[in-house]
A and B are shown apart, each in its own frame.
Chain A
Amino acid sequence: MRVLLDVRNLTVTDLRDQDEIIHDVSFSVAENSCLGIVGESGSGKSMITRALLGITNPWLKSQGAAVFKSQDSERDLLREDENSMREIRGKQIAMILQDAMSAFDPIAKIGDQMVETFVENKNLSKKQSLALAKEALGLMNIHDPKQVVKKYPHQLSGGMLQRCMIATALAMEPDLIIADEPTTALDSINQGQVVEEFKMIRQKMGTALIFISHDLGVVKYLSDRLLVMKDGAAVEYGDAGDIFRNPQHAYTKYLIDTRLELTESFKKAMRKGDHNG
């Protein structure tokens, strides 16, 4: 498989106190694969993607290399200027945030926001854009796209908004989608649905995915490769299956154990039911 994004020795330093927030992290994402990044809050997992997209605060300095190979070009994301990064963001790399509610402009209709995005980035007419928006929403298993495009953000549930955001990202046909804790703010029932959408994206669209979460369960369900972060450093990186079967680092073991503990009684209860029924 062709490597799409190759990150080498990424280090992020806070220029105000020379504090290293990310130490020397390396990983790569191949086409049509999914990299999971797990870690507790404060481990720097979100910071990595922000540094890659150049949307960090101005006092943070990123060093290293992040080579992004799209069909026709090869560029180092850390060395591009703001203008070309703006070209890359959205069109080639799309990002999905945890808090869908605040990612949308609260005073504009969902449809208008999507249309505006498409008109500007895909050179489509308004009519074509609206059709595309509806199609994209339909793909996300939203039953009634015609109604949804007319709604304001506060009229939709968190899960619905998150799906609108994924639909927007998908319709831009990016090479890579970065999802930063997209399910954390959602109820479990919505969580399950949104994760299924991501599964579908992987199977149908062939888009590469970086999926960030603190929940090993979700990451395990989606990822081929896994990066475990702790205190700004990568403690383990490799094939997801291998890591889950045979974690090398004590921290990874701890994450897996605590997750297993959480799920234990639920599994027991469900299994008991299987025997009885």
Chain B
Amino acid sequence: MSRQTLSVLTILACGLVTYALRLGGLLLADRLPKRGRVRAFMDALPGTLLLSLIAPSVVENGIWGGVATLFTALCAIKTKSPLLSMLVGMAIIAVQRYVTQSL
């Protein structure tokens, strides 16, 4: 299978999954668990998935990765602005790399 075909199939699969969840939730509204362990699992997923995505990349960036992440999180809690917080984190890493390179 060519790279292009595989790309298209991958995106289509992701789209189909997402659409099925959106419409499925609406159609099955009465049957979805409102409490209990399955519901707790579903509620917890967005947070744990995002964390799993972040964690290795933070470790990869060493101590400064940790510092940048900490300040990003603090900024997000204080300002509620994901965009500003992202820029804070990136700025810390960029400055650190610039300084390291100039030394």
Q: Specify whether A and B are partners.
A: no
Interface set of B (CB-CB < 8 Å, partner A): none
Interface set of A (CB-CB < 8 Å, partner B): none
